[in-house]
Amino acid sequence: MSSLQGRIYGVFLMMNILSSCIDSSRQYNDSVILLYAKAPIEGKVNTRLIADIGVKAATKLQRDLIHHRLSMLKKANLCDVRLMCAPNQQEKKFLHCKKKYPIALFNQTGTDLGERMFNGVNDALQKYKYCIVIGTDAPALDEKIIQQVIEALHNKNNVVIVPAEDGGYVLIAMQQAYKFLFQNIDWGSAEVMQQTRNKLNENNISYKEFPACWDVDRLEDYQRYLLMLSQADSN
């Protein structure tokens, strides 16, 4: 091996070592978070809020929520993160996020929310032991709660859920892709959490339920979010 080849080999060896160190710095290398996100396209996001705050504010809110989630996850460094992109990962905003945050981009696939979540979970569990699904619209879902969820999975709970105050849920986590949990659910309704509980009980699946968390769906939620931001800035 020539001197130049030796130096090149040394550089590649060092890069591999550093890469290994970065990967192993995660607290939970057996877990992955799937962050489901819509690209901030005007008129396509936070549609329930548009009548109250306008289309531009609703679009800005989506951009801010995406960054809020990714910043929190980067700081927490709990596990790998997959940004599940809609309509696709080639959207400019998602490509920008890929440069700024330690994430992998994946397309959402499926005809409805349940199918898109199941497909993401099923794929992730081919590589990881535990999978945590969240969205962008629950800013109060912090790293402490997510870490407690991961610990609950490690403590032999098959499924872990954080309900939403409006009757849905803001997080669902599991170690097996249970397709029935994502089928025949009235997505977007106040019945989602109860329907999910019923399916878990009917199939004798052990699960842990955390206290409910609020998400940003209505004007009062948006105002609550702005108050949370102002309080964080003052601190």
DSSP letter for 217, please. Answer: -
The pLDDT value recorded for residue 6 is: 52
Q: Tell me the pLDDT tens digit for each residue of 112-154.
A: 999 999 999 999 999 999 999 999 999 999 999 999 999 999 9
CB atoms under 10 Å from CB of 132, counted, come to: 26
Contact between 68 and 47 (Cβ < 8 Å)? no
- Pseudo-torsion of CA 103, 37, 73, 216, nearest 10°? 170
**Phi, psi of 147, deg, nearest 5:** -65, -40
Q: Give the model confidence (pLDDT) of 34-50 as tens digits.
A: 999 999 999 999 999 99
Q: Which pLDDT value is given to residue 7?
A: 53
Q: How does strand 130-135 pair with strand 104-107?
A: unpaired
Helix (H, G, I), strand (E, B) or coil at 58: helix
Domains, the chain, in order of start with CATH, read 26-234 (3.90.550.10)
How far apart (Å, rounded) are the C-alpha atoms in residues 127 and 211?
Answer: 29
pTM: 0.89
Nearest to 138 by CA among 176, 183, 106, 168: 168
Q: Are 169 and 163 in contact (CB under 8 A)?
A: yes
How far apart CA 36 and CA 85 sit, in angstroms, is 6
Give me the count of residues in the chain.
235
Backbone angles phi, psi at 170, to 5 degrees: -105, -10
Instruction: Please return the burial class of 153, using the count of CB atoms within 10 Å of its CB with bins 0-12, 13-18 and 19+.
Output: buried
